[in-house]
Amino acid sequence: MPQGRLAKIIGVALLAGMLTGCGSTSTTTTTTTTTTTKPTTGNLITIVHDVPICNAISAAVVVEDLNFTQIQGGPITPYLNTTSAYAPEIRLNLTQLRDFDTILYSYPVKTGSYGYADFSFELAQLAAYDPTLNPPVHSYSATFTNSKPIVTINPPLVITAGQPNVMVLDFDVLRMLGTDASGNINGTITPVMNITQLLATSTTGVVNPNGFGEIDDLWGFVRSISNTNTTANANYIGSFEMQVLSPSTADAPQIPINLSATTNKVGFTDLGHLLPDSYVEADVTLDAQGNFAGNTVEVQAVENPFPRESGVTPSTALIGPITSIQTDSAGNPKQLNLWVHEAEPDDTGTIPNDTIFQVDLTDGPTYQASVLGPNFANLSFGPANLSVGQELVVHGAYTKPPSTTPGTPSASPFTVEPTAIYLKLQSMQGTLNSTLAIGSDDATGVFILTPCCTLLNGVPIYVVTNGQTTYLNVTGLAAITSLNTLVVKGMPYYEPNATTINGVNIPAGSMVVQAKQVHVLQ
CATH number at residue 321: 2.40.50
418 and 440 assigned to the same domain: no
Residue 403's domain spans which residues?
315-423
pLDDT of residue 348: 64
The helix/strand/coil state of 173 is helix
Cis peptide before 345 (omega within 30 of 0): yes
If asked whether residues 79 and 178 sit together in one domain, one would say yes
Q: Is residue 28 part of a domain?
A: no
239 and 150 belong to one structural domain = no
Res 164: pLDDT: 76
Domain boundary among the residues 389, 423, 457 is at: 423
For the chain, how many residues are written? Answer: 522
Residues 434 and 413 placed together within one structural domain of the fold: no
- What is the structure's pLDDT at 166? 76
Last residue of one domain, picked from the residues 390, 423, 456: 423
Q: Are residues 57 and 137 in the same domain?
A: yes
pTM given for the model: 0.88
Whether the CB-CB separation of 55 and 7 falls below 8 Å is answered with no
Q: Which amino acid is at 410?
A: S
Summarised one tens digit per residue, pLDDT across range 416-443 is 999 999 999 999 989 999 999 999 999 9
What pLDDT score does 352 carry?
82
What is the rounded distance in angstroms from the CA atom of residue 370 to the CA atom of residue 368? 6
Same domain, 409 and 432: no
Q: Are 282 and 296 in contact (CB under 8 A)?
A: yes
61 falls within a domain: yes
| Cβ atoms < 10 Å from Cβ of 367 | 19
Question: Using an 8 Å Cβ cutoff, are 67 and 108 in contact?
Answer: no
The answer to whether position 33 is within a domain reads no
Q: Are 377 and 433 within one domain?
A: no
- Determine whether 423 is exposed, middle or buried from the number of CB atoms within 10 Å of its CB (0-12, 13-18, 19+): buried
Query: Does some domain include residue 6?
Result: no
Tally of structural domains, the chain: 4
Q: Clarify whether residues 287 and 322 are in a common domain.
A: no
Residues 64 and 100 occupy one common structural domain: yes
- What are the pLDDT digits (tens) for 302-320? 999 888 777 788 899 999 9
User: Are 406 and 511 members of one domain?
Assistant: no
* Helix, coil or strand: residue 376: coil
Task: Pick out the chain residues at pLDDT < 70.
Answer: 1-39, 42-57, 174, 348-349, 403-410
Domain termination residue (choose one: 198, 223, 247)? 198
Within a domain: residue 287? yes
In a domain, 411, yes or no: yes
Q: Please tell me whether residues 413 and 433 are part of one structural domain.
A: no
Rg (CA), the chain: 24
